[in-house]
Structure 1
Amino acid sequence: MAEDKAKDSIWSQYTDSDREVLEKLSAGYIDFLSRCKTERESAAEAVTLAEKAGYRDLYAMLEAGEQVRPGDKVYAVNMKKSVVLFNIGEEPLEKGMNILGAHIDTCRLDVKQNPFYEEGGLAYLDTHYYGGIKKYQWVALPLALHGVVVKPSGEVVEICIGEDEKDPVFCVTDLLVHLSQEQLKKAGAKVVEGESLDILVGNYPLKEGEKESVKAGVLKLIKDKYGIEEEDFQSAELALVPAGKARELGFDRSMVLAYGQDDRVCSYTSLMAMLETGRMRRTACCLLVDKEEIGSVGATGMQSRFFENVVAELLNAMGQGSDLSVRRTLANSKMLSSDVSSAYDALYASSFDKKNVAYLGKGMVFNKFTGARGKSGSNDANAEYLGEIRGIMKKHNVHFQLAELGKVDLGGGGTIAYIMSLYGMQVIDSGVGVLSMHAPWEATSKVDIYEVWKGYQAFLVEA
């Protein structure tokens, strides 16, 4: 059964028209990945695209005293890091929504609040890694600096260094192999320690012979260009991410290699599916959130009340402002938790159950449950809901597969599905299979990107 599944080809079933749409979608996705590497950048791009598609700022409408009516398309932003969009349907909101929910944060190296130091004639930035990473993968790699620095006056300075070909890049150094006998005896988790993931940023002294003159030289360059003092980094959000553009992968260009595809592959396709919806019977919603990689915590994560508060505001603007209306709306909603799944990798075959794993290039992936080992922390969708979803996908000719993350006792993972299920709504995880998940560069198939986009569109109009 597993062998047959692995041999099936979707490519051969596509028409020339399918291939044209697939390549256009992939080109837009690659461009998105290349330009949007942080949650702030992704949220800003989502707003730009939404406004072009006719969406309006919900809170601006509320300030102007406007009502929200069926046919309206609105959005709301939370602290520039999370976005939610609604296409208001003809049915009362209390009957529920069809929700696509993805996250736009990714694994990275965050700059600490007091980061600058000099040692051995080299200047460094101290970092704290974000999300679940293999630390040894982040050494000897060109890195770009993205983020914002906020001065006490409130002025926000945006930083992006390392993406333009003329920009310098940064890196974490590695120990030369000639001196690595002791290092290579360590377990993988200890080969590179978290406190060793510091970024090399300079070697040119401002004045010869002075203490910490290399650090002083770097700080002078920063002040001259950005007007930022060293103490301003105390109120900064800066991240180091792999430098460079997303690329097509393989001789046949059938795949995408890029940083941050978990979960931008699902957030981008969810957003595109949402923006292409027309007049709706049932309200459609696209939710793009922050902090999933660290447990969905904080004011911009899914565990915050942001989404619930926006739904309350939306209902109030439609003349249905009671707490009961909010509860009914959420409980009657249906959701695809749009997140990635592990894809079968023949080089690490022993980690997968071949009968229950996603295969790259075989279509959209559904995970009935995630969690770890004994399904700990899992949503575990109802069979009735999964049956309904299967029917929708088959009706719209969406190729899909059912999968788990890997062998039962090897670990696991989670998404925002379990949080949304707390409202009593039907939720299932769905997305794209990924190779090298959480590595600085991840791989996906154009086929899966195309099929998941089709699947998200089908869900919004049919569920």
Structure 2
Amino acid sequence: MQQLDVFNQGLIHFLQASPTPAHAVEVMRRQLQEAGFQELQEDQDWSLEPGQGYLVIRGGKSIVAWRQGLQEPQETGVRMLGAHTDSPCLKVKPKAEIFRNGCLQLGVEVYGGALLHPWFDRDLSLAGQVHYLDAQGQIQEALFDAREPLAIIPSLAIHLNREANKGVEANPQKHLPVILGQLNVSQNPLFAFRQWLASCLEAEGRQVTEVVDYDLSFYDVQPPAYVGLNKEYLASARLDNLLSCYVGMEALIACDQTQDATSLLICNDHEEVGSASALGAEGPFLESVLRRLTSGNEASYQKLISRSLMISCDNAHALHPNFADRHDENHGPKINAGPVIKINANQRYATSSETSALFDAWCRQAQVPCQRFVVRTDMGCGSTIGPLTSTRLGVRVVDVGVPQWAMHSIRETVGSQDPWYLARALVAFIQAARV
């Protein structure tokens, strides 16, 4: 249990330090480098040594990290783990300032399939990437995190909307602009958001001539926390899917430097909006790295793909006690009952009978319970990076994930034992003699 709590404390720290995909990748970069992984650049030549760990970052928001095996990758295949760094959120628009009824607001755009109502009445801060001109007129990039509560989206009082508890639609354009403060008519009523950003960066010691652009989103400042009489649950923002990023990273770091096979982790951005980008799973990032592992030799690359397998890790829908009828009666995953194999006959998940059986065997080897999820036949099914990766590369994939409640809410819940269960199963996969 002490080992479990240490693992969860690391997860809590990772979640707290990663309000955006760019921050998550930066934290992963630091932790991997502390574990001896070397950072490579895509625009440079690579010289890879057996047993050494490497990482490469694209766009600041997607990362591939791997431990080079002692044998050639095309001979053993690659043990791949996949996850995504992004979560549904509210992104600041380019021309964001709104001045109305004495209030200063910022316009936002909904990123991904967010549950909107949980964003109301939360203490919100702001974080992301900022690109600016320095004193020499060069474009520079900065990671920005205000950390303190800056904004709120207040609900309308029930006295002014008696139908509120009957399910009222939240209009993103009208109801989601965040409130930053009040405007005093005796003062200059104008507020330049980019100038404010510049002043924040200057306070950090940067020379900023002009903020040119940004990728910023709001987030809830409430920290992750254990919940339950016996700390059965862990509640936090961005569990979908930073939890899988952390678990995959820890499994990769834990793998033996004397492994024959190469083990790899990819964490893509843009999964929540379809993955169709240079940083997403539908893009070429993973393929380009794998091809470089075989020095561009096509026959070696094809051998690598045929001998490889990916575990696509993305959280699953746990059985909700108040809405049990939303699950197939035989396929309702329970919290703290182990990782979930996700199956869909229409290939919304890439799991096959073979890859399901393999993952089940690795769970047994790690002495970890295992569950299976199939969506109700009369309901639609979500998807993951699994089918996209399988389609693009032709590699075998099993889709799995930790069961969770309130997926895509600003505050989600998982079991406090399940991340540790998943980590143990992933280590068993990486250390398996064959896949």
TM-score, normalisation: structure 1: 0.85
Residue in 2 that maps onto 1:127: 108
Is residue 90 of structure 1 aligned with residue 70 of structure 2? yes
Is residue 444 of structure 1 aligned with residue 429 of structure 2? no
* Contact map agreement 2:17 2:27 (CA 8 A) in 1: no
| Cα distance in structure 2, aligned partners of 1:436 and 1:354 | 19
Is residue 237 of structure 1 aligned with residue 215 of structure 2? yes
| Cα distance in structure 2, aligned partners of 1:54 and 1:392 | 27
Residue in 2 that maps onto 1:392: 362
* Contact map agreement 2:23 2:143 (CA 8 A) in 1: no
- Structure 2's unaligned 5+ residue stretches are none
- Structure 2 counterpart SS, 1:284: strand
* Contact map agreement 1:111 1:238 (CA 8 A) in 2: yes
CA distances 1:404-443 after superposition (whole Å, capped 9, x unpaired): 2x42223221000001212221101112000111111011
Q: Name the one with the larger helix percent.
A: 1
* Contact map agreement 1:184 1:191 (CA 8 A) in 2: no
Q: Which amino acid letter does the alignment assign opposite residue 118 of structure 2?
A: Q
> Aligned in 2, Cα 1:176/1:77: closer, same or farther, shift over 3 Å?
same
> Aligned in 2, Cα 1:140/1:66: closer, same or farther, shift over 3 Å?
closer
Residue in 2 that maps onto 1:54: 36
| Cα distance in structure 1, aligned partners of 2:162 and 2:46 | 69
Is residue 427 of structure 1 aligned with residue 397 of structure 2? yes
Match of 1:248 among 199, 214, 226: 226
Residue in 2 that maps onto 1:31: 13
After superposition, residues 276-425 of structure 1 pair within 5 angstroms as: 276-278=254-256, 279-316=258-295, 321-369=296-344, 375-376=345-346, 378-404=348-374, 406-422=375-391, 423-425=393-395
Q: Which amino acid letter does the alignment assign opposite residue 388 of structure 2?
A: I
| Cα distance in structure 2, aligned partners of 1:354 and 1:25 | 33
> Aligned in 2, Cα 1:460/1:194: closer, same or farther, shift over 3 Å?
farther
* Contact map agreement 1:111 1:127 (CA 8 A) in 2: yes
After superposition, residues 216-235 of structure 1 pair within 5 angstroms as: 222-226=197-201, 235=213
| Cα distance in structure 1, aligned partners of 2:283 and 2:201 | 34
Q: Which amino acid letter does the alignment assign opposite residue 19 of structure 2?
A: K
Q: Which amino acid letter does the alignment assign opposite residue 326 of structure 2?
A: S
| Cα distance in structure 2, aligned partners of 1:224 and 1:424 | 49
| Cα distance in structure 1, aligned partners of 2:11 and 2:389 | 27
| Cα distance in structure 2, aligned partners of 1:76 and 1:182 | 52
| Cα distance in structure 1, aligned partners of 2:178 and 2:365 | 51
CA distances 1:44-86 after superposition (whole Å, capped 9, x unpaired): 11111111111112338x84x6631321211111111111111
* Contact map agreement 2:41 2:57 (CA 8 A) in 1: no
Is residue 453 of structure 1 aligned with residue 420 of structure 2? no
Could you tell me how far 1:389 is from its partner in structure 2?
2.3
What is the percentage of aligned positions where both structures have the same residue? 22
Q: Which amino acid letter does the alignment assign opposite residue 237 of structure 1?
A: D
CA distances 1:278-304 after superposition (whole Å, capped 9, x unpaired): 121211111111111111121111111
* Contact map agreement 2:194 2:211 (CA 8 A) in 1: no
- Structure 2 counterpart SS, 1:347: coil
| Cα distance in structure 1, aligned partners of 2:429 and 2:194 | 51
Could you tell me how far 1:94 is from its partner in structure 2?
1.3
* Contact map agreement 2:18 2:24 (CA 8 A) in 1: yes
| Cα distance in structure 2, aligned partners of 1:302 and 1:66 | 23
Residue in 2 that maps onto 1:10: none
Could you tell me how far 1:223 is from its partner in structure 2?
4.7
Could you tell me how far 1:221 is from its partner in structure 2?
5.1
- Structure 2 counterpart SS, 1:412: coil
After superposition, residues 253-268 of structure 1 pair within 5 angstroms as: 253-268=231-246
> Aligned in 2, Cα 1:439/1:233: closer, same or farther, shift over 3 Å?
farther
Residue in 1 that maps onto 2:50: 70
CA distances 1:163-193 after superposition (whole Å, capped 9, x unpaired): 3xxx3431112211111136666x55x2444
Is residue 159 of structure 1 aligned with residue 153 of structure 2? no
Could you tell me how far 1:92 is from its partner in structure 2?
2.1
CA distances 1:326-385 after superposition (whole Å, capped 9, x unpaired): 23322321010011100011111111123112100111111133xxxxx54524422122
